[in-house]
Structure 1
């Protein structure tokens, strides 16, 4: 490929295996991309800085090596002051993380050579991207873009628990943390607006604002979501009793959960969510990262970023 290319690597992704495999990944990149620069990230949000600077310097292809969190940071670097820096710059992905849910919606295979083949031979496809404004942990309003799924409710609590386990060097899976979190979780009363229309205030276990189809390491939360239709698939799960929850949670992995009477799906371009009990904190997560709390506003930015993929 003759495109000016920057590769951004999160060496700690996939529990540090990306660092161990780097020589193999680098040789694969050389055989497919020929010339490229690469840089390792060493701290949170550094991938955003590297990506943004590279695009400003004329880079045409940014390749991310890591999981969903790394790819989210890189995608945020495509923007400055809420606007795309260079609409012709494209994102390529080499999946190498514990969570690679977004790549499944893009039909990017997990194998190194197959993923590199997509980068070199797939078209640059315009996809939608989400933008969310939320309350950060410091209490200030913050904003970021997301490629895959953002959610409020138990999802943020699960990601928080996974992060805590990681700090303690405990092994944890999303499903294991979901179940252990659910046992003590109290449903939250949420006020939701979809494109300006109020939904009845109700108790929700989770609400997902989905651009992609899959989150939570394999859960097909929004099985019919499309990345280029200009709409979110909003999946709302009302509170369930324990037996009901455990009998139905497995259905999310097969994408057969939407027929449940306590689960609804609605499409929209702008979603607003507020805690109906202001003293109760409701966490949100964005592409697998726990970033803050409600209130939050989610807006779709249609067909705004180029990604190497076969949609």
Structure 2
């Protein structure tokens, strides 16, 4: 099998020596080409070339969730076709690695490489559903390019946290869970809409859900991890169904503490709940509108401010070695 290994040399939890060892291990079983990313979006470009070239059968992403997202968007540039496109494999190298861990892979790059080689030997794979977000027709965001996501997207509060973390990382700070928690507190103190949100959820043939402070769209569960602790925003979310949404319409100090506690104590059977929580399962098509521009993120990548976004849950979008 001919494969392309896309390596992010800035991956948080791997060194150059480890990456070389992993590439050598993969090359023992694959006809392997190796490419290191050099700029933001490079992994997407490499994966697109692999998908359109017709010779690569497998693309392996070595990096964090951002690298995986770019590779997925490159593979699906011309739309999903699991029977024709190269398969995807992931070796986690980031700080959180939500997509890889949600697939059941070890969070250690060396162990994950061993699991990948075993899966290749056993010809083990699965076809996963993905999310697609596009600009909403008739709005100022209409011309925004569509973007695939593997595990989550968000409008409002959580996207604001992601944006703050990115600013800190641009200033040289390491991506740690402590850094995220500090930015959560700063975003809460700066949040101007926490007692009455500006987000509306619109679905075909359903009444709109209004007044949301935040909207988290999940394609799988867990939503994220704090160290080794999984956090479930939408416990029913799955790669085998459509998209799930968690919305919160009030974030006073008391309610915010309650929801934070519920998230920390969340399980595969129970996530955040209460009279100001909206949970919707297995959505195929829906739109989020905001009365004011709000932060927007996809797979932990802050994409600026948006007033509207249209989502599609696409079942059986991509085949993954696992």
Is 2:306 the counterpart of 1:305?
A: no
Q: Distance in 2 between matches of 1:294 and 1:216?
A: 25
Partner of 2:284: 269
Is 2:152 the counterpart of 1:149?
A: yes
Is 2:135 the counterpart of 1:124?
A: no
**Cα distance, 1:86 vs. partner?**
5.9
C-alpha distance 79-191 of structure 1, shift in aligned 2 (>3 A)? same
| Residue pair 2:128, 2:316 contacting (<8 A) in 1 also | yes
C-alpha distance 18-145 of structure 1, shift in aligned 2 (>3 A)? farther
Compute the RMSD of aligned alpha carbons: 2.4
C-alpha distance 81-125 of structure 1, shift in aligned 2 (>3 A)? same
**Cα distance, 1:63 vs. partner?**
0.4
Q: Which sections of structure 2, spanning at least 5 residues, go unmatched?
A: none
| Residue pair 1:55, 1:86 contacting (<8 A) in 2 also | no
Q: Deviations over 1:230-269 (max 9, x none)?
A: x111111222211321243032133243333322211211
SS at match of 1:197: coil
| Residue pair 1:274, 1:294 contacting (<8 A) in 2 also | yes
Q: Deviations over 1:79-108 (max 9, x none)?
A: 234344863521000000013111221111
Partner of 1:194: 203
C-alpha distance 127-180 of structure 1, shift in aligned 2 (>3 A)? same
**Cα distance, 1:34 vs. partner?**
4.2
Partner of 1:244: 255
Is 2:15 the counterpart of 1:23?
A: no
Q: Distance in 1 between matches of 2:93 and 2:309?
A: 30
**Cα distance, 1:210 vs. partner?**
0.9
How many residue pairs are counted as aligned between the two chains?
Answer: 300
Partner of 2:45: 49
When normalised by structure 1's length, the TM-score is 0.88
Partner of 1:253: 264
Picking from 183, 203, 207, the partner of 1:177 is: 183
Q: Which sections of structure 1, spanning at least 5 residues, go unmatched?
A: none
When normalised by structure 2's length, the TM-score is 0.85
**Cα distance, 1:190 vs. partner?**
1.4
SS at match of 1:281: strand
Partner of 1:71: 68
